Amino acid sequence: MNQQVILEGRYLWRDAAGRVIETPEEMFWRVARAVAAAEARFGADSKTVAAWAERFFALMAALDFLPNSPTLINAGRQGGQLAACFVLPVEDSIEAIFETLKQTALIHKSGGGTGFDFSRLRPKGDPVQSTGGVASGPVSFMRIFNAATEEVKQGGVRRGANMGILRVDHPDIFGFVACKEKEGEMRNFNISVAVTEEFFGAYAADKDFPLRFGGRVYRSVPARELFDYIVAHAHATGEPGLLFLDAVNRANPTPALGRIEATNPCGEQPLLPYESCNLGSVNLAQMVKERSVDWEKLRTVVRDAVRFLDDVVEVNSFPVPAIAAATRRTRKVGLGVMGWADLLFLLRIPYDSEAALQLAAELMGFIRAEARAASRQLASERGTFPAWDKSVYYPDLPLRNATLTTIAPTGSISGIAGVSSGIEPVFALSYTRTVFDRKKLLVVNKPFLAYLAANFPEAQREAILNAVYRNGTLEGVTELPPEDRAIFKTALEIAPEWHLRMQAAFQQATDNAVSKTINLPETATQADVAAIFRAAHALGLKGLTVYRTGSRKDQPLALPANC
């Protein structure tokens, strides 16, 4: 039912009169055939191509795996753009900025999201030689991108989303940190400060930190003052997030091609300029057999999914040639998971437990190992990614894809699969979800319902559910034994420290980054946020997003504003 509403809203194709012309099953066939068509390019005969199409269909129709939304929406269309994640360069000239703006519009139109590092733009007030005027600075140019995004979304397949990044040492950093201070401003951007080891070093030593551009130091500020300024804004509005630039570049698989400076809108996909990446997620709620993880099924799903994602790189129509070239050079894909909280419910493991952290590391380690095995197999059939001999894998590990794993938010596809999103704890055991700004759906967590059915007679079940409907949690429900109550906790009942440790457990075995919101209660202080920032750095995370209850109004499902 929910699945149907979500699919009808945006995914199922329509005719010119706006009538839906395909069923979900037909949609999965459309996607499966379009993606399997790649197989023919590597010499498969039509029977083999059809067999792969069938296999991909089964993978999606069973909801064991789903690709990112643009693949579901655009596959099979002439010129269909299938990737969710892009990073574009922003160079310091009017021509370059507006060229990037145009490319951004093309990407948004197709349902992709864009990330930018604005640090190459000269600071506000700097001279502009050709005109004798002064520069507007990165934040002003971001406003133009924000406004363009607002307009393009009218005709696009979904609301365009951007990630705006500025290095912590850029002279305009204070203005950047404050640019979303007012609710509604820059609303088509998530923002992150790109922090460095140098900055954390200055912070730890309580030293002044130089803000510089083009080799010149503009001024120095106490590192603590800047840190506290970032913390105060994150505490008040949930933004900015942090991007740990050095951690990201330590994991850059192709340093010879350049440093990574930015991520896609939700932060899970660091990319080089012009690279794009298509994502897909395994539905963990379906990888269960007799109360334990069904490792054999997971292995098969992961291997097929990697083939699927590599085929997507092959059949994708890229919006501009530079993106096609950069993407085909590294062939990055991002396989992740959804339904993690549901899996823990099914296995009866509390989210905030050492057992859950251990399983997270084991599970993601398994997925990465299997994904690499599949990519290696593809490399032997199709060749390595072209930049392989310049990568960290050379010469020992021939791979078809420079990265394989990413944990996406799965904001939409988890709704299609009817499971908890990404690796987040459930937001509530029951809640109403507004889809496409119109329909309201009552969603009750399925593993929780199954647990009730297995353990309580109907009358008692009804009473428990009625209590749960009130605020989405087990607060005030006395029927469940304490050990079971500990399992069915919601996001805000789980201490921030556990959110963070879970992100770290998944990050360990993830090539790219992890989308995760660290939920804080409304009463959390700035000191709490500061402690989380420091802990995230110490844990070696690549990025961080905090969200304090009530700090932003427009907050769908506790995900970053634009996702």
Q: Where are the alpha helices (DSSP H) in 181-251?
A: 197-204, 223-237, 245-250
Amino acid identity at 214: G
Question: How far is it, in rounded angstroms, from Cα 235 to Cα 459?
Answer: 44
Between 284 and 349, whose beta carbon lies closer to ligand CDP? 284
Q: 482 preceded by cis ω (within 30°)? A: no
User: Under DSSP, is residue 307 helix (H, G, I), strand (E, B) or coil?
Assistant: helix
Q: How far is CA 363 from CA 99, 321, 344, in A?
A: 42, 37, 12
Between 275 and 352, whose beta carbon lies closer to ligand CDP? 275
User: Under DSSP, is residue 331 helix (H, G, I), strand (E, B) or coil?
Assistant: coil
CB of 546 to ligand CDP, least distance (A): 17
Question: How far is it, in rounded angstroms, from Cα 186 to Cα 180?
Answer: 6
Q: Would residue 475 show up in a list of annotated catalytic residues for this protein?
A: no
Q: Where are the alpha helices (DSSP H) in 472-552?
A: 482-485, 496-507, 526-538
Tokens 């690549």 correspond to what residue?
542
DSSP string, 414-426: HHHHTS--TTPPP
Point out the catalytic residue in the list 68, 190, 264, 445: 264
CB of 277 to ligand CDP, least distance (A): 9
CB of 3 to ligand CDP, least distance (A): 13
Token pair in block for residue 43: 């010499």
Q: Would residue 519 show up in a list of annotated catalytic residues for this protein?
A: no
The answer to whether 271 touches 322, Cβ cutoff 8 Å, is: no
Point out the catalytic residue in the list 266, 424, 445, 512: 266
**Residue 393 exposure: Cα atoms within 13 Å on the Cβ side:** 23
Binding positions for ligand CDP, rule: CB under 6 A: 68-69, 84-85, 112-113, 158-159, 161, 264-266, 268, 279, 408-413, 562-563
Between 268 and 310, whose beta carbon lies closer to ligand CDP? 268
As a 3-state breakdown, the chain gives helix, strand, coil percent values, each rounded to 5, of: 45, 15, 35
Q: Which helix (H) or strand (E) holds 281?
A: strand 276-283
The answer to whether 240 touches 167, Cβ cutoff 8 Å, is: no
Sorted by sequence, the CB contacts under 8 Å of residue 420 that are 6+ apart come out as 285, 338, 339, 340, 341, 342, 414, 426, 445
Count of C-beta atoms within a 10 Å radius of residue 370:
21
Between 110 and 384, whose beta carbon lies closer to ligand CDP? 110
Between 98 and 436, whose beta carbon lies closer to ligand CDP? 436
Task: Name the region of 556 (left: φ>0; alpha: ψ -120 to 50; beta: rest).
Answer: beta
Q: Would residue 264 show up in a list of annotated catalytic residues for this protein?
A: yes
Amino acid identity at 325: A
CB of 239 to ligand CDP, least distance (A): 15
Between 32 and 349, whose beta carbon lies closer to ligand CDP? 32
CB of 67 to ligand CDP, least distance (A): 8
Between 269 and 384, whose beta carbon lies closer to ligand CDP? 269
CB of 9 to ligand CDP, least distance (A): 12
Point out the catalytic residue in the list 268, 275, 370, 424: 268
CB of 145 to ligand CDP, least distance (A): 13
CB of 551 to ligand CDP, least distance (A): 21
Between 375 and 412, whose beta carbon lies closer to ligand CDP? 412
* Residues marked as catalytic: 264, 266, 268
